[in-house]
């Protein structure tokens, strides 16, 4: 089996104690861990750095693990929790995330529960009884729930196997998703001194990683950082031109019968896009924090259960969602940072099959993001870091180098090669010099004194301003831009905004364009700095399929298709009956493998990836019956 993610950094800043148990115990604890991986989770082998992380925790040491989305972070703490004596505590920021994981574990026959504000008193009491009787292997809690004094007191009397801190980047204000309540988790080190702590996250640049270690007192613990590569993701980005709404509908219509997520910058926009998609016949739902709670959870459930549905959401829709078969993520508005980009795009293709990440962006998004940072009431140093993050994001989106490689380098990976499948690797970019036109646009913006928007600036250059005043018509820049079309001027203005040569003041939705960085502008006038316009060759439709480099697909052989569909129909009935998403029962991938192998016995079924002991006991007979129905 090929390991598609390689370790890039496993550092031990201070020597961690060698596990002394090794000398006495001849059996490698990893063998038992592997047996659990097979038996309980139905996976043949560890992947990426899972085995390294698990070995560290089994030796009783704390650690930090940065593994990509879908890389399998959860077994890194689930398996040690099951093997080590005592209760494994998992701190997680979202109830949706906990609910999903606990449901999945229970399906696999693992003794897991959660304590959160949604749990009724009866169930709570029962959970505490199981904790105190030592019957539970895993307990999921929120950070604020865990740090309540009575909770800490009660847990202090229970032996703990480990404490896992999921989404650990939330502890860092350099990260992209700082949550103040995570800061309290720093106290866990002194409260539970002998208990190994494992911080896990999917996205953290070097600075954020340092911060996580400092905040959680993991300075002396090893750090496992996996590659950020997601070879199943095909990335592309395009500047917004005209109506973004129309473009989104076009993109979705070109990807029929697939599940997707569309991120939009505001609640209103999610509603508008969802409506436009429904009008175009696409089953689309809007999702944002302004919706009533019950409606939100109904829509989430609808999305998770559907074989093809589109969710149009604000970033309120996210961390807890791991529908494995999301085939595309489209940003109708640019994300907030490269971390956010990678995490949001990363919700596509979690089953390992090919998926697309498409981003629409514009200079207006950038100005808006920069302005919001400017208005924030935070430390100037933090502001500076956040501004740099925004600039880096747009350098990625509007840049010319491989997108996947740029992201991986951003996270500190070295020796990264181009992905060969993003729009910049496969497409053609033509650069043409536009310095002279840029000089004209810059002087026009200067003469107009930052009082007008982009449209008026372009009209001025073309000499087409409606009801032009005498004073404006008398300016030397009036009508000097006849050589370019209006749309070419608009593109150039956008380019100048990205480069910071022009600046846009959002002005409450009626943005005004003015001259940007004075030194840079002067350099353009002197001809010391050149301005180039990019044109990207249009991608032919269907490129994605061709871009694949022999990776296996989920697509079942035509002869197995009917059985695959029958298995899905069975799974769908089962999921509805149990009120769980279908994928906690079996992933598509597992069903596809069953359809291909057509197991005739329990033993044969158990060899299929994703079928563990618990699921065999629960579903073995039913699955074998569906398969037998197709045998002849
Ligand atoms: P994340 O790192 O994003 O939290 P999860 O822990 O949810 O990822 O795992 C993602 C998917 O990968 C799950 O469906 C899980 O069952 C699967 N998985 C985890 N470990 C392995 C493995 N060693 N081999 C195959 N699949 C695995
Ligand atoms: Zn590329």
Whose tokens are 């979202």? That residue is 94
What the block records as the tokens of 21 is 């148990």
Please tell me the residue having the least CA distance from ligand 1 atom 4.
73
Predicted local confidence at residue 550, as pLDDT: 36
Q: Does ligand 1 come within 6 angstroms of the Cβ of 581? A: no
H helix count then E strand count, the chain? 29, 18
Check: CB of residue 248 under 8 Å from CB of residue 272: no
Residue 14 has pLDDT above 60, yes or no: no
pLDDT one-digit tens code per residue, 332-363: 999 999 999 998 998 999 888 899 999 999 99
CA dihedral 333, 338, 340, 343 (to 10 degrees): 110
Q: Does ligand 1 come within 6 angstroms of the Cβ of 73? A: yes
Same domain, 450 and 527: yes
> Three-state SS for 22?
helix
Q: What is the rounded distance in angstroms from the CA atom of residue 386 to the CA atom of residue 166?
A: 23
Whether residue 585 lies inside any domain: the answer is yes
E strand or H helix at 164: strand 160-165
pLDDT one-digit tens code per residue, 139-155: 999 999 999 999 999 99
Burial of residue 369, with CB atoms counted within 10 A of its CB: 0-12 exposed, 13-18 middle, 19 or more buried: buried
Residue 553 has pLDDT above 60, yes or no: no
Q: Please report the atom of ligand 1 found closest to the CA of residue 322.
A: 7
Closest CA to 593 of 548, 622, 553: 553
Residues 156-161 have a mean pLDDT of 96
Closest CA to 505 of 443, 565, 457, 540: 457
Please tell me the residue having the least CA distance from ligand 1 atom 21.
72
407 — phi, psi (to 5°)? -60, -45
> Three-state SS for 510?
coil
Please tell me the residue having the least CA distance from ligand 1 atom 23.
46
Closest CA to 270 of 301, 315, 304, 222: 315
Residue 36 has pLDDT above 60, yes or no: yes
SS (H, E, C) 408-440: HHHCCCCCCCCCCCCHHHHCCEEEEECHHHHHH
Burial of residue 142, with CB atoms counted within 10 A of its CB: 0-12 exposed, 13-18 middle, 19 or more buried: buried
* Ramachandran class of 509: left when φ > 0, alpha when ψ lies in -120 to 50, beta otherwise: left
**Average pLDDT value for the chain:** 87
Question: How far away, in angstroms, is 44 Cα from ligand 1 center?
Answer: 12
Q: Does ligand 1 come within 6 angstroms of the Cβ of 43? A: yes
Given ligand 1 and candidates 48, 67, 72, 165, which is best to mutate, with the most ligand atoms within 8 Å of its CB? 72
Same domain, 71 and 214: yes
Question: How far away, in angstroms, is 538 Cα from ligand 2 center?
Answer: 16
Question: How far away, in angstroms, is 69 Cα from ligand 1 center?
Answer: 9
Q: Does ligand 1 come within 6 angstroms of the Cβ of 70? A: yes
Q: Please report the atom of ligand 1 found closest to the CA of residue 41.
A: 16
Whether residue 544 lies inside any domain: the answer is no
Question: How far away, in angstroms, is 75 Cα from ligand 1 center?
Answer: 7
Same domain, 97 and 150: yes
Predicted local confidence at residue 78, as pLDDT: 98
Percentage of residues in the chain having pLDDT higher than 70: 92
Q: What is the rounded distance in angstroms from the CA atom of residue 146 to the CA atom of residue 90?
A: 10
Q: Does ligand 1 come within 6 angstroms of the Cβ of 46? A: yes
Q: Please report the atom of ligand 1 found closest to the CA of residue 73.
A: 2
Beta bridge partners, 355, equal: 233
> Three-state SS for 135?
coil
Question: How far away, in angstroms, is 253 Cα from ligand 2 center?
Answer: 25
Closest CA to 511 of 493, 485, 525: 493
What percent of the residues of the chain are helix, what percent strand, and what percent coil, each to the nearest 5? 45, 15, 40
Same domain, 119 and 177: yes
CA 86 to the chain's CA centroid: 32
Please tell me the residue having the least CA distance from ligand 1 atom 6.
72
Q: Please report the atom of ligand 1 found closest to the CA of residue 71.
A: 2
> Three-state SS for 372?
helix
Closest CA to 220 of 66, 62, 8, 77: 62
Please tell me the residue having the least CA distance from ligand 1 atom 24.
43
Q: Please report the atom of ligand 1 found closest to the CA of residue 46.
A: 23
pLDDT one-digit tens code per residue, 450-489: 899 999 999 999 999 989 999 999 999 999 999 999 989 9
Same domain, 566 and 512: no
Predicted local confidence at residue 578, as pLDDT: 86
Smallest-distance ligand from the CA of 67? 1
> Predicted confidence band at 441 (pLDDT cuts at 50, 70, 90)?
very high
Q: Does ligand 1 come within 6 angstroms of the Cβ of 67? A: yes
Question: How far away, in angstroms, is 530 Cα from ligand 2 center?
Answer: 26
- Count of the separate structural domains present in the chain: 4
* Domain CATH for 600: 1.10.150.80
Q: Between 269 and 71, where is the model more confident?
A: 269
* Ramachandran class of 456: left when φ > 0, alpha when ψ lies in -120 to 50, beta otherwise: alpha
E strand or H helix at 4: none
Last residue of a domain, one of 209, 225, 241: 225
Smallest-distance ligand from the CA of 586? 1
pTM: 0.75
Q: Does ligand 1 come within 6 angstroms of the Cβ of 72? A: yes
Same domain, 221 and 242: no
Question: How far away, in angstroms, is 425 Cα from ligand 2 center?
Answer: 4
Q: Please report the atom of ligand 1 found closest to the CA of residue 346.
A: 3
Q: Does ligand 1 come within 6 angstroms of the Cβ of 175? A: no
Check: CB of residue 368 under 8 Å from CB of residue 504: no
Smallest-distance ligand from the CA of 343? 1
Smallest-distance ligand from the CA of 403? 2
Same domain, 219 and 72: yes
Q: Please report the atom of ligand 1 found closest to the CA of residue 70.
A: 3
CA 288 to the chain's CA centroid: 17
Smallest-distance ligand from the CA of 401? 2
Question: How far away, in angstroms, is 37 Cα from ligand 1 center?
Answer: 11
> Three-state SS for 613?
helix
What the block records as the tokens of 63 is 């650690």
Whether residue 542 lies inside any domain: the answer is no
Predicted local confidence at residue 544, as pLDDT: 45
Smallest-distance ligand from the CA of 357? 2
Please tell me the residue having the least CA distance from ligand 1 atom 20.
72
Check: CB of residue 65 under 8 Å from CB of residue 9: no
Give 45's DSSP letter: S
Question: Any alpha helices (H) in 120-205, and if so which ranges?
Answer: 121-132, 143-146, 149-156, 180-183, 188-191
* Domain CATH for 57: 3.40.50.300
Residue 541 has pLDDT above 60, yes or no: no
Smallest-distance ligand from the CA of 40? 1
Same domain, 218 and 250: no
Question: How far away, in angstroms, is 531 Cα from ligand 2 center?
Answer: 24
Q: Does ligand 1 come within 6 angstroms of the Cβ of 92? A: no
Predicted local confidence at residue 350, as pLDDT: 85
Residues 547-554 have a mean pLDDT of 42
Same domain, 57 and 22: yes
Q: Please report the atom of ligand 1 found closest to the CA of residue 324.
A: 14
Q: Indicate the pairing of strand 223-226 with strand 7-11.
A: antiparallel
Radius of gyration of the chain (CA): 27
Q: Does ligand 1 come within 6 angstroms of the Cβ of 589? A: no
Q: What is the rounded distance in angstroms from the CA atom of residue 54 to the CA atom of residue 162?
A: 11
Whether residue 546 lies inside any domain: the answer is no
Closest CA to 318 of 75, 89, 41, 296: 296
Whether residue 550 lies inside any domain: the answer is no
Predicted local confidence at residue 204, as pLDDT: 85
Same domain, 457 and 586: no
What the block records as the tokens of 488 is 């070419």
> Three-state SS for 19?
coil
Q: Does ligand 1 come within 6 angstroms of the Cβ of 47? A: yes
Predicted local confidence at residue 167, as pLDDT: 92
Whether residue 551 lies inside any domain: the answer is no
Whether residue 552 lies inside any domain: the answer is no
pLDDT one-digit tens code per residue, 486-512: 989 998 998 898 888 998 887 777 889
Q: Does ligand 1 come within 6 angstroms of the Cβ of 322? A: yes
* Ramachandran class of 251: left when φ > 0, alpha when ψ lies in -120 to 50, beta otherwise: alpha
Q: What's the full length of the chain, in residues?
A: 632
Last residue of a domain, one of 181, 209, 225: 225
Beta bridge partners, 535, equal: 430
Q: What is the rounded distance in angstroms from the CA atom of residue 204 to the CA atom of residue 119?
A: 32
* Residue 600: domain span: 558-628
Q: What is the rounded distance in angstroms from the CA atom of residue 373 to the CA atom of residue 134?
A: 48
Whether residue 541 lies inside any domain: the answer is no
Same domain, 512 and 386: no
Same domain, 104 and 203: yes
Please tell me the residue having the least CA distance from ligand 1 atom 5.
72
Q: What is the rounded distance in angstroms from the CA atom of residue 220 to the CA atom of residue 56?
A: 13
Given ligand 1 and candidates 66, 67, 70, which is best to mutate, with the most ligand atoms within 8 Å of its CB? 70
> Predicted confidence band at 556 (pLDDT cuts at 50, 70, 90)?
low
Last residue of a domain, one of 225, 253, 285: 225
Give 537's DSSP letter: P
């Amino acid at each position: 089996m090929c390991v598609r993610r390689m370790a890039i950094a496993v550092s031990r800043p201070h020597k961690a104690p060698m596990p002394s148990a090794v000398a006495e115990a001849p059996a490698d604890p990893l063998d038992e861990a592997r047996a659990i991986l097979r038996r309980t989770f139905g996976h043949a082998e560890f992947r990426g750095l899972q085995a390294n992380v698990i070995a560290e925790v089994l030796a009783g040491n704390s650690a930090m693990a940065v593994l990509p989305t879908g890389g399998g972070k959860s077994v890194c703490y689930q398996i040690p929790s099951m093997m080590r004596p005592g209760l494994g505590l998992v701190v997680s920021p979202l109830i949706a995330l906990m609910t999903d994981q606990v449901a999945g574990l229970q399906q696999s026959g693992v003794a897991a529960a959660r304590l959160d504000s949604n749990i009724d008193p009866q169930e709570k009491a029962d959970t505490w009884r199981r904790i105190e009787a030592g019957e539970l292997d895993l307990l999921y809690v929120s950070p604020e729930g865990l740090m309540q004094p009575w909770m800490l007191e009660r847990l202090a009397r229970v032996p703990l196997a480990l404490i896992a801190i999921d989404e650990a980047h939330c502890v860092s204000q350099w990260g992209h998703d700082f949550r103040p309540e995570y800061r309290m988790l720093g106290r866990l080190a002194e409260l539970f001194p002998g208990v190994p702590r494992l911080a896990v996250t999917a996205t953290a640049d070097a600075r954020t990683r340092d911060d996580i270690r400092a905040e959680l007192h993991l300075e002396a613990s090893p750090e496992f950082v996996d590659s950020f590569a997601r070879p199943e993701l095909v990335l592309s980005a395009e500047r917004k031109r005209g109506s973004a709404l129309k473009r989104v509908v076009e993109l979705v219509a070109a990807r029929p019968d697939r599940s997707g997520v569309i991120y939009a910058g505001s609640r209103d926009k999610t509603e508008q896009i969802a409506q436009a998609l429904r009008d175009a016949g696409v089953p689309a739902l809007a999702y944002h924090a302004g919706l009533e709670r019950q409606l939100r959870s109904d829509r989430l459930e609808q999305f998770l259960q559907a074989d093809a549905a589109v969710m149009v959401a604000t970033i309120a829709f996210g961390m807890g969602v791991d529908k494995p078969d999301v085939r595309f993520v489209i940003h109708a508005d640019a994300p907030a940072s490269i971390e956010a980009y990678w995490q949001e795009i990363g919700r596509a293709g979690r089953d390992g099959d090919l998926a697309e990440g498409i981003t629409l962006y514009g200079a207006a998004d950038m100005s808006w993001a920069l302005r919001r940072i400017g208005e924030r009431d935070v430390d100037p140093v933090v502001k500076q870091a956040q501004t740099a993050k925004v600039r880096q994001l747009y350098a990625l989106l509007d840049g010319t180098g491989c997108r996947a490689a740029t992201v991986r380098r951003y996270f500190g990976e070295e020796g990264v090669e181009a992905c060969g499948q993003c729009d910049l690797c496969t497409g053609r970019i033509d650069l043409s010099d536009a310095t002279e036109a840029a000089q004209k646009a810059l002087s026009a913006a200067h003469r107009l004194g930052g009082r007008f928007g982009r449209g008026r600036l372009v009209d001025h250059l073309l000499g087409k301003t409606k009801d032009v005043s005498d004073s404006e018509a008398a300016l030397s820049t009036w009508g000097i831009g006849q050589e370019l079309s209006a749309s070419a001027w608009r593109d150039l203005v956008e380019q100048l905004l990205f480069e910071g040569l022009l600046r846009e003041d959002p002005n409450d939705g009626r943005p005004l364009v003015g001259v940007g960085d004075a030194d840079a502008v002067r350099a353009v006038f002197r001809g010391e700095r050149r301005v180039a316009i990019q044109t990207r060759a249009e991608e032919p439709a269907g490129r994605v399929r061709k871009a694949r480099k022999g990776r296996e697909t989920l697509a079942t052989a035509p002869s197995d298709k009917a059985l695959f569909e029958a298995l899905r129909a069975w799974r769908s009935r089962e999921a509805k009956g149990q009120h769980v998403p279908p994928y906690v029962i079996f992933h598509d991938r597992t069903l596809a493998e069953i359809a291909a192998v057509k197991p005739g016995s329990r033993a044969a079924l158990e060899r299929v990836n994703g079928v563990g002991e618990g699921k065999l006991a629960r579903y073995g007979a039913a699955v074998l019956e569906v398969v037998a129905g197709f045998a002849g």
